[in-house]
Amino acid sequence: MRLLFFGAQGSGKGTQAKIISKKIGILHLSTGDIFRNAEGELRKEIDSYILAGNLVPDELTLKMLEKRIYQDDCKEGFILDGYPRNINQARTLDEIMGIDYVVEIAISDNVAFERILNRISCKTCGAIYNIRTLPPKEKDVCDKCNKPLSRRADDNEEALRVRLSIYHREIEPVLKNYKTIKVSGEQPIEAVTKDILINIGYR
């Protein structure tokens, strides 16, 4: 099974992709993780776009993604989180593979700001916390691996405004290209998971 997950920053799409992938036994692929795993000059080039709140260019994204999805661990399917990011990418993706379900996790911009501006994360294990609604047990220390927590460099108000503007301008036309399952990301995590599973045929 191949799924696409969409949602604005702070929607919880990455969290849901991880949960759903484990429940149905397929791989979770995040373009963000693929970018962060890049090395050397390629990593510097990617960081220059991300830190400014801009999207990584299509050609670079597609090159890295194509290499990843044809590896053996993707044969049973995957959840693709963070791609396609514009209508041209969507059309290119449609040419190289079929997609079974497209899921949009919807939240308001106000909720996105509240979540992102209070977000801290662990660079070691990837765990994410919210200092207001889901704080770690010990301040600035990850509950899972006891490593330091920090804010992402692009989790600031100016960069978030740019990212949300890009999302509305670029991603919303992509969603119109597909028959989309839309669920509210403003529910508790468990409720969002349940809605997604029901809509893709799992109970």
Looking up residue 14, the CATH number of its domain turns out to be 3.40.50.300
Q: Is 152 a catalytic residue?
A: yes
Please pick, among 13, 75, 115, 179, the residue that the annotation labels catalytic. Answer: 13
Q: How far is residue 97's CA from residue 84's CA, in Å, rounded to a whole number?
A: 12
The tokens for 52 are: 């400014």
Please pick, among 119, 132, 169, 176, the residue that the annotation labels catalytic. Answer: 119
Q: Is 163 a catalytic residue?
A: yes
Q: How many residues does the chain have?
A: 203
Determine the average pLDDT of the residues in 45-55. 85
| DSSP, res 82 | S
Number of neighbours of residue 138 by Cβ within 10 angstroms: 10
Q: What is the largest CA-CA distance in the chain?
A: 48
Please pick, among 63, 132, 163, 179, the residue that the annotation labels catalytic. Answer: 163
Q: Which domain holds residue 90?
A: 2-199
Q: What is the pTM of this model?
A: 0.81
Band the pLDDT of 37: cuts 50, 70, 90: confident
Please pick, among 36, 68, 152, 194, the residue that the annotation labels catalytic. Answer: 152
Q: Is 119 a catalytic residue?
A: yes
Q: How far is residue 7's CA from residue 22's CA, in Å, rounded to a whole number?
A: 19
How many domains does the structure of the chain reveal? 1
User: pLDDT for 137-186, tens place per residue?
Assistant: 999 999 999 999 999 888 889 999 999 999 999 998 999 989 999 999 99
- Phi first, then psi: give them for residue 183, nearest 5 degrees: -125, 155
User: pLDDT for 79-131, tens place per residue?
Assistant: 999 889 889 889 988 888 889 999 999 999 999 999 999 999 998 988 889 99
Beta strands in the chain, from DSSP E residues, in sequence order: 2-6, 27-30, 78-81, 101-106, 119-122, 128-130, 149-150, 180-184
Please pick, among 85, 91, 137, 139, the residue that the annotation labels catalytic. Answer: 85
